[in-house]
Structure 1
Amino acid sequence: MANLTFEQGTLKLVYETGVDESGNTILASRTYRNVRNNVTAEQLAGVVQAFIQLSGHPVVQASVSKTEKIEL
């Protein structure tokens, strides 16, 4: 029987940092590793809010990805 084992979690935030000469939105992304497996959506939302406060730029997208190992 196969099992999945959590290896790593990553939080990615995409910020809107401004507008260029042509009027196109400038985006910048930051990736934060070591997100624990047992973190809740509310906890992640609190972290995202803290980063918004620190950066001063609006967050366009926030996503979490998890890497799991398949054990056969």
Structure 2
Amino acid sequence: MATSDLKSIKLRMIYDNGVDENGKPLSSSKTYSNINYASTPDEILQAAQAVAGLSSRPLMLIEKNDSYGINA
């Protein structure tokens, strides 16, 4: 039976950069690596909100990306 091991957690924060000349939404993102494996969703949200507070751009989305290795 295959198993999986958590290899890394990354936090991706997507910011609103307004709209282009055609009215299409523009965004930019910043990714933070080495997130503690024991972090709860509430702790990650609090950290992301604290970091977003340092930006002049509004925060649109917070993503948590987990990477797993599959073992046979």
Mark yes or no: TM-score above 0.5: yes
Q: Runs of 4+ in structure 1 displaced over 6 angstroms?
A: none
Does the residue aligned with 2:42 lie in a helix, a strand or coil? helix
Offset at residue 38 of structure 1 (A):
1.5
Q: Once structures 1 and 2 are overlaid, which stretch shifts more, 7-16 or 22-31?
A: 22-31
| Aligned residues between the structures | 72
More helix by share: 1
Equivalent-residue separation in structure 2 for 1:23 and 1:70 (angstroms): 43
Q: What letter corresponds to residue 17 of structure 2 in structure 1?
A: T
Tell me which residue corresponds to 1:20: 20
Aligned equivalents of 1:35 and 1:17: distance in 2? 26
- In the TM superposition, residue 48 of structure 1 has moved relative to its aligned partner by 1.1
Tell me which residue corresponds to 2:57: 57
- Mapped partners of 1:10, 1:32: distance in 2: 6
How many angstroms does 1:52 deviate by? 1.4
Using the TM superposition, give the Cα deviation of residue 59 of structure 1 relative to its aligned residue in structure 2, in angstroms. 1.0
Note the residue ranges of structure 2 that are not aligned, 5 or more in a row.
Answer: none
Look up the match of 1:32: 32
Q: What is the TM-score with the length of structure 2 in the denominator?
A: 0.84
Unaligned 5+ runs, structure 1: none
Q: What is the root-mean-square deviation of aligned Cα atoms in Å?
A: 1.5
Distance (whole Å) between structure 1 residues aligned to residue 24 and residue 35 of structure 2: 32
> How much does 1:16 deviate?
0.5
Q: Which moved more, 1:19-28 or 1:45-54?
A: 19-28
